[in-house]
Each structure stands twice: as C-alpha cells, then as structure tokens.
Amino acid sequence: MQNSHRSFPFSISFLLPRRNKELPSPATGSGAASPARKDGAPGNLTSVSTPNLTSTGEYETRTGKACKPAAHFSRRKNFEFEPLSTTALILEDRPANLPAKSPEEALRHRLEYDEMVAEAKKREIKDAQKKKKIMRERFKQEENIASAMVIWNTEILPNWENMRCTRRVRDLWWQGLPPSVRGKVWSLAIGNELNITSELYEIFLSRAKERWKNFNETCSTNDTDDTGSSVADREASLELIKLDISRTFPSLFIFQKGGPYHDLLHSVLGAYTCYRPDVGYVQGMSFVAAVLILNLEEADAFIAFANLLNKPCQLAFFRVDHSTMLKYFAVFEVFFEENLPKLFLHFKSYSLTPDIYLIDWIFTLYSKSLPLDLACRVWDVFCRDGEEFLFRTALGILRLHEDILLQMDFIHIAQFLTKLPEDIASEKLFSCIAVIQMHNSNKKWAQVFTSLIKCNKEDWNNSPALKS
C-alpha cells in the first residue's frame, strides 16, 4: 500500500493543513478518530500520505476503516489531463471539467488527424526516396571511380606520354581523377622543368630550419644575403607563414598547430622561401601547398609546388606583376563579354572589375573559394588544360549564379563572389563550365592573350584592388 502512495502521480499537499486538524496527534496518545469521510474523498488520500501514519494497519486501527486503493486511481482524470501526443490532442475526449466535443468538432478533428498522418507518410516516402537516390548515385560514383582507377593504373600511367593527349584520356580526365592516382597525375602533368630533386629540397629545408633557429638574433634590416633578399623581407615571410598556416582549411583541423600536417606545411613553405627569395611567401600560397600535401609525399609536394608557381600566370600573380595581371584581366573580360553579355553589361554598369574577385580565386587556385573536393576536380582539369581553365572556371561560376548576380548591386555582388556558397554541386558547376566557349573571333585564349601583349588598357590603372 505504501508503495502505491509513493508513486502517486500528482501532489496533494494542498489538502494537508485541513486534514491534519481532523487527525489526532500521536503525541497525545488519544485513539479517538475524527469523523470519517466518504471513501474516495480527498481527505482519505491525504490521511494516507500523512507521515504520522506509517502503515496501513495503523491507519485502519485508528480510523476503523479499510483503505480502498482503487478509488485513488479512479479519480485521476478529475485531477489532470495528460495528452501524450498530437493524436491525443485531436482525438481524446476533453477532461471532465470541460464541455464535451460536439459531433461536428469530433469529426473535424478526425479529418485533421487523418490529413496530418497522410502528410507525414508523404514526407516519409519522399525522404526515403531521396536517401535511396543519394545512395544510388554514391554507389554509381564509387563504381565509376573504381573502374577509372583500374584504367589509369593499368593503361594510362604506364603509357603516359603516348596516351595523355588522346581523346579517351582527356574525356576520362574531365570526369575527375580517382583520389588514389590524383597526386601522380598532377605531378606528371605539372612536370619538373626546374629539375628539383628530393636532395635539393632537403638542402633548402635545412636552410629554412637554420633561419628559424636564428630568427630572433639581432641583425640589420639593410643586410642582404647572397641572393639579394633583405633580412627584413625574410623575417616578414617567416612571420606571415606562421600566421597563414593557422588559417589554412581551419575546418579540417589538420594544418593548425598540433595537427598532423602543420609541420609539413611549414616545412614546404619555408623551404620555398629559401629556394625563391625573389618571390618569398605570399598570402594564398599556403592553400596551394596544402592541397598538394594532401595528395603527394613531402618532397614530391615541394617539387610540384615550386614548378606550379613557376608557371607564367602564377608567377605573375605571386610576384604581383601588375602589368601582366592587367593583361590577364583584359583577356578574361573579352571572354566574359563573349559568353555572358548580359551579366558583363551589368557588371560594367557598376564599374565592377574582375580583379575584385579573380585575384583571390587565382592566388589560391580556387582551393579557398570552393569546397575542397570540388576544388580538387578543378585542379584536375587545370593540370590538363593549363591557365586557360582557371579563367574558364571563373566564367562557369558566374554563369552558374548569373540569375542571382543580375539582381544584385555592387556591394552584394562583391560580397557574394568573395564568399561563394558552400553547397555548390560539382556536376552543376562543370555543366556550366562545359558550355563556356574559349574562342573569340576564331582565336583561342593564348592567341587573344598574345594579341593584347602590346595593348594598354588605361582604365585598369585605377583598379582599387590592384592598388591595395
């Protein structure tokens, strides 16, 4: 009996003061009982819960009445109403202290409930179909990757020089490289015109470590080493490397201090500043080096990094060669107007020049602007087609978001393009890139660039991004 009282679902403490007046105190020794109430009345519930009455037998002795526990629970609906779900809210009868539902209201609630159940089932079926579609596409993608990996490993890579330019390989390349062969293909496609070896990397890495060791030693800012690089410039590069490494793919947590690739990235960038003191370290390099490190061994990543930054377009940007950068922007505008004339005029109406968004895209080769997996696919085709594909990708991005951009003003366009959406679908972007034509008056990108070498675009001299 006591157990049933301890588990009673609601408090009845509000009845205690009145009931205690009717019960004799055990201290008086009196066995007289107060007048009995009807069974099931609140007074009975209170008396059982009173701490002074420690057992059912004592209660019966003092009151002369037997407990009827069933009566306690039969009254529960009078004290509280506990709908357990939306179904209860709609279909349950109202508590006894409220008016009952009319037949019309009960029918309306039933119909509302049936409608809710039907909608829930529709959502459930739709979600199940969506998940099934995603799993089917993922399975198909994994099959394609596995099949392509076999082709690359057994047919293409062993015969690289003979097969790299064939139509079949180029088509397969466009679809994206399997992750297991990506680093190898990138290394072969980028090449090693600088003839850098692993031993040479170790030499420059040793110099970088020695420089870090002596970093805090006193030296004159006017001193120069045998390469012509000032000590102040070298120290500035080292400080900038430390700062930028912590900003490189922060969501991955692998390049930040304590992460597995932090020291590796630091080594590659430090060695490069010793190898090319004329270039030094420039913001954006850390993202390029990080992508290579994710796909190549340390020495191979450095070799690919140094050769990649030695390409004409990258060298012009990382050395901040304004005149050459202006020519690249001018060529880009030619193909921008050719492919997206409406958006081109919209940008022109706001005097929005390509340098505002292209500089960041080109500096990091889209590794900072696009999701990493999508950026790697851009790198795949960039290694195949060269610098032209970087600007073709830019036009693909503009085409993908053309409808949105046409509705924006200068500020919102600049904000949008400097921080692209994070959910860009790979197939959608590459479908837009595929329709971009890199021909102007039957001239290809390289031919248009060459024709503009001697041209001067005076209106670019006031470009705010270049001046900054």
pLDDT tens digit sequence for 322-373: 999 999 999 999 999 999 999 999 999 999 999 999 999 999 999 999 999 9
Structure token digits, residue 454: 């001697």
- Residue pLDDT, tens place only, 151-167: 999 999 999 999 999 99
Residue 319 scores a pLDDT above 50: yes
> What local confidence, expressed as pLDDT, does residue 371 receive?
94
Residue 466 has pLDDT above 60, yes or no: no
- CA 322 to CA 325: how far, in whole Å? 5
> Using CA atoms, how far apart are residues 373 and 378, in angstroms rounded to an integer?
9
Which whole number is the average pLDDT over 182-197? 96
**What does the alpha-carbon distance between residue 238 and residue 208 come to, in Å, rounded to a whole number?**
9
Written as six digits, the tokens of 172 are 């397969």
Q: Which DSSP category does 152 fall into?
A: I
Residue 99 pLDDT exceeds 90? no
Q: Specify the pLDDT at position 246.
A: 87
State the pLDDT at residue 232. Answer: 53
The pLDDT, as a whole number, for residue 37 is: 44
Angle, vertex CA 261, rays to CA 258 and CA 262, nearest 5: 50
Q: Is the pLDDT of residue 2 over 60?
A: no
CA dist., res. 421 & res. 64, Å (int) = 80
Distance in angstroms (rounded) separating the CA atoms of residues 80 and 75? 9
